Amino acid sequence: MPLVALDAIPQVPLDFINQDHREEARLLNELAEALEAHRSGRTGPEPVLACFEVLFHHTQEHFGREDAAMQQSGFPPYPMHHGEHVRVLEELGEEGRAFGEGGDAARLHAYVTQAIPAWFVNHILTMDLMTARFVASRG
């Protein structure tokens, strides 16, 4: 069972954001599977780190596309939304570094299976929805 059901991701009125969210969830699901295989002793940490790197890189690109759309459209609360992107990237990077350095699978598992999915849905329903509506209206 996937961590995030791709068909249950809230939709916003901009296709590129919906596509990014779908890919983000797919990559998060892959990371959760790799982490579970590692925690059960079927693999070492390498597949987890590889999945994490792909997720992190996609998240940077995903946030970059949103940031560019907000700037191009003159979205007034851009600093707040961009600041949340910066905060999440820093947090995500720290969790990846902590796992890479110490191998604490339980810590990364809690972050991946609890913190990220809860933040992801909340962020879509609040900041991303408001952003997408504004950007789409400037169309």
pLDDT at 79: 98
pLDDT tens-digit map of 26-74: 999 999 999 999 999 999 999 999 999 999 999 999 999 999 999 999 9
pLDDT at 65: 98
Domains of the chain by residue range: 13-137
36 closest CA partner among 3, 58, 4, 7: 3
What CATH homologous superfamily does 13-137 map to?
Hemerythrin-like (1.20.120.50)
CA–CA dist 123, 70 (Å, integer): 15
pTM (two decimals)? 0.96
pLDDT at 139: 76
pLDDT tens-digit map of 30-43: 999 999 999 999 99
- pLDDT, average across residues 83-110: 96
CA–CA dist 57, 96 (Å, integer): 12
